[in-house]
Structure 1
Amino acid sequence: MDQLESSTSKDAVWRSRLQRHAQSGKTIAAFCRDESVSTATFHIWRAKLAAAGAHSVTPAQPATFIDLGAVKNTAGVTPAACPPTPTTSPAGIDVRIDLGDGIVLTITRR
């Protein structure tokens, strides 16, 4: 096994180990004792993989809910508490949110 393959294999083992620790609810000391690894090695690998992760592109978690606040249609007047982004017309309210990557969310109330 060459050095790159060995390094990749160790990375995978430690990623798995760190994930198991996060799900275990145990302290680092207790988890390391159960896994037969030193706490120093645990901290070194956690820092190493965190630094490597900072340089890689990982998809962000999608927002499950975005509170836009209350929007009232009061004859074209936007309440002071509401942001000026909604446009009002006699037909209703249109809200457009640019989500990035060319995706625009449009909410219309008629």
Structure 2
Amino acid sequence: MDKLQSYTSKESAWRSRLLRHAQSGKSIAAFCRDESVSTASFHIWRAKLAAGSDHTAKATQPAAFIDLGAIKDTGGVTSMAHSPPSTPVSSPEIDIRIDLGGGIVLAITRR
């Protein structure tokens, strides 16, 4: 079993365990004693899964897509594919900056 499968199996077991605790009405200490797990593990997994559910919710949101059109080179004259062919632009500089969050910016430049 690889690490991902092992983690996924543990995650599934802890999700089930936390659900059983919520339905049991027992204190964390009593529940952990009955389940033969430490209260520290209970708190660690509860925090991991709570943080993971926030991350999962963000990850399932549809990604924004920006269609800038195709760029085609026509013998030294570059034009945007969605522009009318009668309006060529000579050597446009294309600069795209995307803020990925966490202080990371993706910059793409075509000259």
How does the TM-score come out when normalised to structure 1? 0.51
Cα drift, residue 31 of structure 1 = 0.1
The one-letter code matched in structure 1 to 2:49 is: L
Give deviations 1:10-52, integer Å, cap 9, x for gaps. Answer: 0000000000000000000000000000001100000000000
Matches within 5 A, 1:24-103: 24-57=24-57
For residues 57 and 40 of structure 1, the distance between their equivalents in structure 2, rounded to whole angstroms, comes to: 26
**Partner residue of 1:72?**
none
Cα drift, residue 56 of structure 1 = 1.2
Percent of aligned pairs with the same residue? 74
For residues 24 and 55 of structure 1, the distance between their equivalents in structure 2, rounded to whole angstroms, comes to: 27
Structure 1: gaps of 5 or more residues = 59-110
Secondary structure at 1:6's aligned position in 2?
A: helix
**Partner residue of 2:13?**
13
For residues 40 and 56 of structure 1, the distance between their equivalents in structure 2, rounded to whole angstroms, comes to: 24
Give deviations 1:53-107, integer Å, cap 9, x for gaps. Answer: 011129xxxxxxxxxxxxxxxxxxxxxxxxxxxxxxxxxxxxxxxxxxxxxxxxx
Question: Would you identify which runs of 4 or more consecutive aligned residues in structure 1 move more than 4 Å?
Answer: none
Secondary structure at 1:56's aligned position in 2?
A: helix
How does the TM-score come out when normalised to structure 2? 0.51
Find the structure with the greater CA-based Rg.
2
The one-letter code matched in structure 2 to 1:53 is: S
